[in-house]
Amino acid sequence: MQSEHPQLFSFEFYPPKTEEGAANLQVVHSKLAALNPDFFSVTFGAGGSTRDKTFDTVVDIQTKGIAAAPHLSCVASTKENIRAILQNYRQHGIAKIVALRGDLPSGMMSAGEFRYANELVEFIRLETGDYFDIHVAAYPEVHPQAKDAQEDFKNFKRKVAAGANAAITQYFYNAEAYFYFVDLCEKNGITIPIVPGIMPITQYSQLFRFSEMCGADIPRWMRKRLESFGDDREAIQEFGLELVSNLCQRLLDGGAPGLHFYTMNQSAPTLAILERLQTKA
């Protein structure tokens, strides 16, 4: 499997919108930084809606000593915009990037100069050579807008061919989907690390909404269990912790090159999972 790569642990944040959110993120960052992750990544609102906040958050993280990787979505962007963003990151010593298409905000009609993430990866390579370590998104359960699974995989291959160094998956709770995807990559000569994206489970309604939107499958048995806990947050969290820790353990045991946590700007759920993994090790 992918064991020739060192294990990569990374944590994802979104740029805080309020002063309170910014203060919270400082605390969350320092707790997770103590684990010495490979990098922190910071999301980017498609259409550039969080452009400045993503930039400020990334620079703040990088200044504190652990690498920061801004997400960059190209939908509704021009080459000029993207060129300026890349230059700015370079000037600040940011050398990792998560290159995405993004989703057009509703009401925004123009897709801009880039149609798909592979075109963004190509553009980054053209403009900056090998400077950036480029991560792209992967969808073991198939991207929700894909024509079909085979086309989606072909499109993933285009991003790798354009120069991606690694991929982070959409979150999933079916380990088999990940292992199947990794096997497919190997059969197709794709050797970059495919890092599973991990979504801790802390509540119920938001997880379902998110999963509907991004095409992550919540298996029936899991949904039924979560539903049965009603408003009992503690029970949901304990169930989620057990389930997601077991998933992480299975993924690592099966050769996953690391884990990328969608932290939702909270440290406790991710720390609890990692603690359980260590206890079991």
Residue 281 CB, shortest distance to ligand FAD, in Å, is 26
Close Cβ partners of 32 (under 8 Å, ≥ 6 residues apart): 11, 40, 263, 267, 270, 271
Contact (Cβ atoms closer than 8 angstroms) between residue 192 and residue 167: yes
x/- binding map, residues 103-132, to ligand FAD, per CB under 6 A? x------------xxx--------------
Close Cβ partners of 31 (under 8 Å, ≥ 6 residues apart): 267, 271
- Does residue 242 carry a catalytic annotation? no
Residue 237 CB, shortest distance to ligand FAD, in Å, is 24
Tokens of 214: 């991004």
Please tell me whether residue 96 binds ligand FAD under the rule CB under 6 A. Answer: no
Please tell me whether residue 38 binds ligand FAD under the rule CB under 6 A. Answer: no
Residue 257 CB, shortest distance to ligand FAD, in Å, is 14
Please tell me whether residue 276 binds ligand FAD under the rule CB under 6 A. Answer: no
If we measure between CA atoms, which residue out of 161, 165, 164, 139 comes closest to residue 152? 139
Please tell me which residue in 12, 119, 122, 141 is annotated as part of the active site: 12
Please tell me whether residue 251 binds ligand FAD under the rule CB under 6 A. Answer: no
The contact set with ligand FAD (CB under 6 A) reads 43-44, 46, 71, 73, 98, 100-103, 116-118, 137, 143, 145-146, 151-152, 155, 158-159, 168, 170, 197
Catalytic residue annotation: 12
